[in-house]
Structure 1
Amino acid sequence: MTPGRTTTDLVLHAEDMGATVHWALDLPERGRYYPGIDVIVLRHGMTERRTVSTLAHELAHLYYGDPLCTPVVRRRAWRWAAQLLVPDDEYAAAELLDSSPGAIAQHLGVTVDVIHAYQRAA
């Protein structure tokens, strides 16, 4: 299954991967993965772009079973999220419209973190 890029699509993808997704009002970071119990918690009230990007990042931690998030692990998770969320042809089309990372992110419905990871992996 290749998930779409909506929160609902990614929550269903998380369930397919064996995880549950919850929202919290007081989460200090955007998202957190709890290894061992396969729970992802997201900060309530984020934009759709930020929620989708953060959830994809946390799904990477689930995929790799990351027990903690070091800078190297964080970069790997953003690369995985970029692979999940950014089709090459859509990136190329967005880049033709405006090559700035912010504009590409806006066009593709993701955050700049995802676009930077995509660009570093290319």
Structure 2
Amino acid sequence: MDLRRGAASLDGTSPTLSDLLGLCGEAGVEVRTARLPSGWLGAYDDPRRRILLAPGLTPVEERCVLAHELGHALRMHVGTSAAAERDAERFAARLLIDPVALRAACTWARDDVELAEELGVTVDILHAYRALRGIGRDGP
């Protein structure tokens, strides 16, 4: 399967964890839980085509971190840099946030925490989406 095409088909649809795992499997990217350096929630090992997730993530964190690491795989990032991290975070934001759901939730959510919770993403993913789209607090 073409990872780019598969990911593009899920763009903005708020895919489930199962959807993301299926995409990884079809693309030949293994997903495992592993002990990672302190403060790391996930990592992409390009030579082994493997995504590593830290144990103990919440379901929302797991979905967001998997999407982020999938961004590294799709963009073929090797090593780490601020630009690669930003790119992967924006990839995850585009993939996970449904713009229609965001618009609707912006009408009633009191703050970013409540908004992110409603969308099933982390606040970091929400902020990355806003930065990508040039959206302020009041929504799209």
- TM norm structure 2: 0.80
Structure 1 alignment gaps of length 5 or more: none
Q: What residue in structure 2 maps to residue 44 of structure 1?
A: 55
Q: What residue in structure 2 maps to residue 108 of structure 1?
A: 119
How far off is 1:91 after superposition? 0.9
Q: Secondary structure, in 3 states, of the residue corresponding to 1:97?
A: coil
- Relative to 1, partners in 2 of residues 1:51 and 1:90: Cα closer, same or farther, differing over 3 Å? same
Structure 2 alignment gaps of length 5 or more: 1-8, 134-140
Name the CA distance, whole Å, in 1 between partners of 2:59 and 2:107.
24
Identity among equivalent positions (%) equals 32
Q: What residue in structure 2 maps to residue 95 of structure 1?
A: 106
Q: Deviations over 1:18-69 (max 9, x none)?
A: 2010012x22310000012210010111100100000000000000110012
Instruction: Choose 44-53 or 90-99, whichever is displaced more.
Output: 90-99
Q: What residue in structure 2 maps to residue 62 of structure 1?
A: 73
Q: Secondary structure, in 3 states, of the residue corresponding to 2:52?
A: strand
Alignment of 1:30 with 2:41, yes or no, is: yes
Name the CA distance, whole Å, in 2 between partners of 1:116 and 1:99.
15
Instruction: Choose 41-50 or 1-10, whichever is displaced more.
Output: 1-10
Q: Secondary structure, in 3 states, of the residue corresponding to 1:40?
A: strand
Larger radius of gyration: 2
CA RMSD of aligned residues (A): 1.5
Moved over 6 A (4+): none
How far off is 1:99 after superposition? 5.2
Q: What residue in structure 1 maps to residue 21 of structure 2?
A: 11
- TM norm structure 1: 0.91
Residue type of the partner of 2:63? V
